[in-house]
Structure 1
Amino acid sequence: MCPDRAVLQQALERGEREGGSVEFKERLTRTVHLAEGRMESLAAQLRHRVLSGDGEATYVVGVTDDGGIAGISHEAFSESMDVLSLLAEEAGAHIEDVQTWGIDADGSASNRGGKSGVKGLVGVATICEGAVLDTDSEHIVVGTAGHVDHGKSTLVGSLVTGQPDDGEGGTRGYLDVQPHEVERGLSADLSYAVYGFGEDGPVRMDNPHRKSDRARVVEESDRLVSFVDTVGHEPWLRTTIRGLVGQKLDYGLLTVAADDGPTKTTREHLGVLLATELPTIVAITKADIVEEDRVLEVEREVERLLRDAGKTPLLVERHGVDAAIEEIDENVVPILTTSAVTMDGLDELDELFERLPKTTADSGPFRMYIDRTYSVTGVGAVASGTIMSGHVEAGDELLIGPMADGDFREVEVRSIEMHYHRVDEAKAGRIVGIALKGVREADIERGMVLLPADAEPEPVREFEAEVVVLNHPTRIGDGYEPVIHLETVSEAVKFFPEGGQLLPGDSGKTRVRFKFRPYLVEEGQKFVFREGQSKGVGTVTNITPE
């Protein structure tokens, strides 16, 4: 018997009894169970179950009063979860977790979800005391970059757990994201790591793989720090660019290993960070495995690299954390030396992340470019990404698109999750998963955008831009076809430069046209383009609506 199936079996064996914490429901409907008088009674019943379970109750949905497995349709289960969420809120509680099983034709429960042969669903919802998370706390998002094996993920793993590395990259494993966690948990955890700060200092994770542990950090922290981890291998630079350009980041964290020094990939990652005008910190890692002279040599290499890019390096060891916090911007780059093994430099990073001001604004109407999509049994289509501006609440009417034909479609926000924790609303800078009603997961693509229902978006197939060619073997002429990364859009385009060509190191104007479909593009947005070894950056200056 798999562990998931055991959860259902244990709930059924405990049974529904007076004074117990388990409740059986075949289904819940808005018309019947939210009617005046009935809602108050059911909320009181839920409150009683939660108190009986010392702050936690178990609701089994899709079963009869005597615990017989009945199974209900996906639509009925989804409505039941909506109603249960409202009842929990009325009772001062919230849904912490939901697990579902498909019911086969013979009445047995399996883990096959919505696959063929399954006639319905049964689910176990865990209800916990306390309202859903208040998301008003300050929250900064840090994009990490660096060459493979330069200790980026290991450094972040030690930061979020407070545990030293074993010298073999052990803490790196804390940042792994398992596909089943995304599929089963309605995960919005695109950042892969989170920790926070409360009145008594850092709030770290004991076990980052445990959803409840991440939710605990979010709940206990006055300030949150999320890390958007990226890929260090050169073949996956596209993924790194998407991570850095497609999120609403407050800061960048670039790692350079003391035993290796800056590499070609280091220069490319730094170029992307600085081209997007993201305030960036450089952490020299692995200081424990080299002599001090080597650390100083790498420091000088990093300083030269920054000055060549027109930036001012600031050594934290020499000038202090206060100076780094006061001076950091798109032109001043703090540098500090760290070791995840000895934990040297991590206190300074903690202080920086605790005190650095949030750089992204919450103002403006709601907007979220979609980075990932998936479907969760009993919930439906989920769109994940970073909220770029404004805020969103459960129940909001939104637009999603543009679709391939340029149209936008009306949808409703069914629920919102942040770091495995269900929330009523979320603001700019939050990395969230939004369950949507009115659209199939198969119809949602990365690069689409969610907007308020009263917005009047115009799909764009072509725009003008100012670009800088960072690297190219020859010249860029009419019809040049790179891939551009703009917000979460990764799409093939054609360039038509003013004057007919652009040379390496040149800056100039070009017309840019999407090859296959339109997207939502706005003036002032920055992008990165690449094709083979060719790379450059640009800014949208004028748009041509479709």
Structure 2
Amino acid sequence: MPGGYKLKGENLGREFKIRLREDYHLKNEKRKASLKNQILYKVSAAGSLMYLIGVTDDGEPIGISYQELLRSDKVLKKICSEIPVNIEKEDVIQVGEDRFIKCYLITRKELESKLQHLTVVTVGHVGHGKSTLIASLITGKPDDGSGKLRVYLFRHPHEIKRGLTADLSLAFYAFNEMGEALRFSNPKDPVEQARILQNARKIISFVDNVGHLRFFKTMVRGFSSMKPDYAMLTVSAADGLQKGTLRAFLLLISYEIPFFIIITKADRASEEAITKLEEQIILWLKRLGRTPYRVKDEIDVCIVASKMPEGVVPIIRTSSVTMEGLSLIDKLLWQLKPRVEAESISKPFLMYIDEIYNIVGVGPVVSGKIKWGKISKGDVVLVGPVKGEFVKAKVLSIEKYHQRISVAYAGDIIAVALKPLKRQLRYRDYRRGMIVCDQKLNPKPVKKFIADVRIYPSPTTVKEGYCPVLYCESIRQQVKIEKIENIEEHGVGGFTATMTASFIYRPCFIQPGDRFVLKEHDYITGVGVVKSIFNVQ
């Protein structure tokens, strides 16, 4: 065939069409959306797409007339102009008398990486409306009272079947330059995601956390690995304060995260019941050293937004059925500022791995939230520890919200495709809790460390030989306490001390100043800060 093209058949990197028609592919909205999604999916999966017009589905280059080719060209370019892709190259090839085919190289348009980005984790007792509230916020749609909108947040079939969140789920919506919310009609539609991101000035990433205490380890991970800027604590007006609510209070205090309280399901409770619940919440907040503030209008939002890092806790009444209070949440999220420290961007790149995927045609892809610095496509980074050492790898691509970008900064939640250099790094070698970092960081695996800890009252006696599970960044591993000294008892129960502990199973990368939580079963036994480390020799 002329031009050296080999038509082997369709796959993720190739798509064949005999022709495209304006009356069928543009005026039929369902068919138009299908064509957009097909192009976006293939470009995202393969990195680029060779799109050929004048070719049958089985790869035969039969060609079409030049006039038909021009009409098809117009339709394809109209479709591509409405999704985040670029047509990099075009080539017309004559295959017979007045018979032509046209080949396009389509690539992903890069997302602007310097958008303001805010991460908000949700927490609360099971059944208190966390997922439904987020779904109503990002779609602008009222729920029917049975939680039907929450399926937008579910990741697994058993979650849909049981109506119960069992894993961390990420969702987002955005604001334009005027502070107006950009919402979805379908949050899982990649075309809509691309449209919203292209028009966004500020992005709000929700980490939808679990509520059932059976999944308490996942709840803790939502705080430790995602390092949220703020937390949204939900309390059902119909159920009031529950065991999971009080456990959530403890997590928020342990991680020192500014938070606001959303009273959900206000349509299911009387004014008297809601007022009584607010008084109970205010009492709890005062005991924890926080300043509660009832938010009733936009003026209140302006007052409290800048004071949240100082311990002020806004309380907002909402209903996902009547949409009461959701506009106040919009205004609050628009006003809140990211808590990423300015100096963290200038430090060497560091990201803890939270999720690992094995993508067909790409290989292992890791995701997490960038703690320090920035990462660019083509960078050579270190990954590990793997069997006690760090392996060099090249950054093949970076994605943020399923959109390709060339640079990402501290505070961004990203997915990175890596190609190991020299040593082969297989999918099963990657673990949650490993790091991807700049070579300048010169990381060393840590087996033992010394930390200052605050031990809470619990059913277990914390002493030398005790083996709790440690949560630090995305690390979740059992440690053995080898020594406890400088103990100071507290009148309210518990004590502060200096402890020496070691990882039981494998060395990890931690640094002085890192905060951690100690956990056993479904309760927290203590919190601490790493004071010094002992590298593996």
TM normalised by structure 2 equals 0.77
Show the counterpart of 1:356. 336
Per-residue deviation, 1:412: 0.5
Offset at residue 12 of structure 1 (A): 3.0
After TM superposition, give the deviation of residue 532 of structure 1 in Å: 2.4
- In structure 2, the residue matched to 1:459 is 445
Alignment of 1:11-30 (within 5 A): 11-14=15-18
- How big is the shift at 1:533? 4.6
Q: 1:485 aligns with which of 471, 476, 489?
A: 471
Aligned match of 1:392? 375
**Conserved 8 A contact 2:214-2:522:** no
Residue 434 of structure 1 corresponds to: 416
The 8 Å contact of residues 146 and 232 in structure 1, kept in 2 or not, is answered as yes
SS of equivalent to 1:477: coil
Question: In the TM superposition, what whole-angstrom CA distance separates every residue of 1:157-185 from its partner, at most 9, and x where no partner exists?
Answer: 11111111111111211112259xxxxxx
Report the Cα distance in structure 1 between the residues aligned to 2:330 and 2:295, rounded to whole angstroms.
13
Corresponding letter in the other structure for 1:421: Q
Partner of 1:407: 389
User: Judging changes above 3 Å, is the alpha-carbon distance between structure 1 residues 417 and 300 closer, same or farther for their aligned structure 2 residues?
Assistant: same
**8 Å Cα contact 1:402-1:518 kept in structure 2:** yes
State the SS of the aligned residue for 1:306: helix
Residue 285 (structure 1) aligned with residue 267 (structure 2)? no
* Cα pair distance change 1:190/1:232, threshold 3 Å: closer
Q: Deviations over 1:482-506 (max 9, x none)?
A: 1111000000111235249898522
Match in the other structure for 2:154: 176
| Count of matched residue positions in the alignment of Structure 1 and Structure 2 | 449
Structure 1 stretch 411-420 or stretch 471-480: which is displaced more? 471-480
> Is the partner of 2:216 in helix, strand or coil?
helix
Residue 469 (structure 1) aligns with: 455
Q: Distance in 2 between matches of 1:271 and 1:254?
A: 12
The structure-2 alpha-carbon separation of the partners of 1:206 and 1:472, relative to structure 1 and needing over 3 Å to count, comes to: same
Aligned to 2:516: 527
1:328 to 299, 302, 308: 308
The offset of 1:278, in angstroms, is 0.9
Shift of 1:10: 10
What is the DSSP-based 3-state SS (H/G/I as helix, E as strand, rest coil) of the residue aligned with 1:408? strand
Q: 1:530 to 1:204 in 2, by over 3 A?
A: same
Determine the structure 1 residue equivalent to 2:406. 424
Q: Which amino acid aligns with 1:434?
A: V
Change (3 A) 1:384 1:281: same
Q: Sort the Cα spacing of 1:334 and 1:8 in 2 relative to 1 into closer, same or farther, 3 A.
A: closer
> Which of 373, 377, 384 does residue 360 from structure 2 map onto?
377
For 1:90-109, list aligned pairs within 5 A. Answer: none
> Is contact 1:468–1:507 with CA below 8 Å preserved after alignment?
yes
Alpha-carbon RMSD: 3.4
3-state secondary structure, aligned to 1:240: helix
Match of 1:139 among 98, 117, 124: 117
Match of 2:170 in 1: 192
Native 8 Å contact 1:190 1:431 kept in 2: no
Output the amino acid matched with 1:447.
G
Cross-structure match for 2:506? 517
Indicate the SS of the match to 1:498.
strand
CA distance, structure 1, for counterparts of residue 332 and residue 255 of structure 2: 21
Alignment partners' CA distance in 1, 2:478 and 2:173: 37
Distance 1:545 1:197, change over 3 A: same
User: Secondary structure at the residue paired with 1:254?
Assistant: strand
Q: In 1, distance between residues paired with 2:198 and 2:236? A: 34
Secondary structure of the 2:454 match is: strand
Residue-by-residue CA offset, 1:431-477 (whole Å, 9 max, x unaligned): 11100001322211000011112321111111112222234114211
1:40 aligned residue: none
For residues 460 and 351 of structure 2, the distance between their equivalents in structure 1, rounded to whole angstroms, comes to 37
Superposed CA offset, 1:105-136 (max 9, x none): xxxxxxxxxxxxxxxxxxx999368x411111
Q: 313, 322, 329: which is aligned to 1:342?
A: 322
1:443 aligns with 2:443: no
The change in CA–CA distance for 1:431 and 1:532 in structure 2 (over 3 A counts) is same
Instruction: Report SS of the residue matched to 2:263.
Output: strand
Q: Is the contact between residue 10 and residue 16 of structure 2 (CA under 8 Å) also seen in structure 1?
A: no
Q: C-alpha distance in 1, partners of 2:277/2:86? A: 47
Residue equivalent to 2:187 = 208
Query: How far 1:238 sits from its partner (Å)?
Result: 0.3
Match of 2:140 in 1: 162
Q: Is the 8 A contact 1:278 1:330 kept in 2?
A: no
Contact kept in structure 2, 1:166 and 1:341, CA below 8 Å: yes
Evaluate the alpha carbon distance shift between residue 544 and residue 207 of structure 1 in structure 2; reply closer, same or farther with a 3 A threshold.
Answer: same
What is the alpha-carbon distance in structure 1 between the residues aligned to residue 105 and residue 250 of structure 2? Answer: 46
Cα distance between partner residues in 1 of 2:13 and 2:459: 63
Aligned to 1:102: none
Counterpart check, 1:368 vs 2:351:
yes
Q: Letter of the 2:230 partner, please give it.
A: Y
Deviations for 1:275-332, whole angstroms, at most 9, x for unmatched residues? 1111111111111100011111111111111122222212222871111112111522
Gaps of 5+ in 1: 22-49, 71-90, 98-123, 180-188
In the superposition, relative to structure 1, how do residues 330 and 6 fare at CA in structure 2: closer, same or farther (>3 Å)?
A: farther
* Separation (CA, whole Å) in 2 of partners of 1:496 and 1:333: 39
Q: Structure 1 residues 474, 484: closer, same or farther in 2, change over 3 A? A: closer
Q: Which moved more, 1:435-444 or 1:470-479?
A: 470-479
Whether the 8 Å CA contact 2:486–2:498 is kept in 1: the answer is: no
Instruction: Tell which deviates more after alignment, 311-320 or 510-519.
Output: 311-320
**1:59 shift after superposition:** 3.1
Write the letter of the residue equivalent to 2:368. Answer: G
Equivalent-residue separation in structure 2 for 1:354 and 1:203 (angstroms): 12
Cα distance in 2 for residues equivalent to 1:443 and 1:330: 42
Q: Which runs of 5+ in 2 are unaligned?
A: 1-8, 26-35, 61-80, 88-102, 158-166
Deviations 1:366-424 (A, max 9, x none): 11000010111111110011111111111011001111x32000001000111111111
Deviation track 1:336-365 (CA, whole Å, cap 9, x = no partner) reads: 111111111111110111111111134222
Q: In 2 relative to 1, CA 534–196 (structure 1 residues): closer, same or farther, beyond 3 Å? A: closer
- Other structure's SS at 2:532 match: strand
- Aligned equivalents of 1:347 and 1:134: distance in 2? 27
1:215 Cα shift? Answer: 2.5
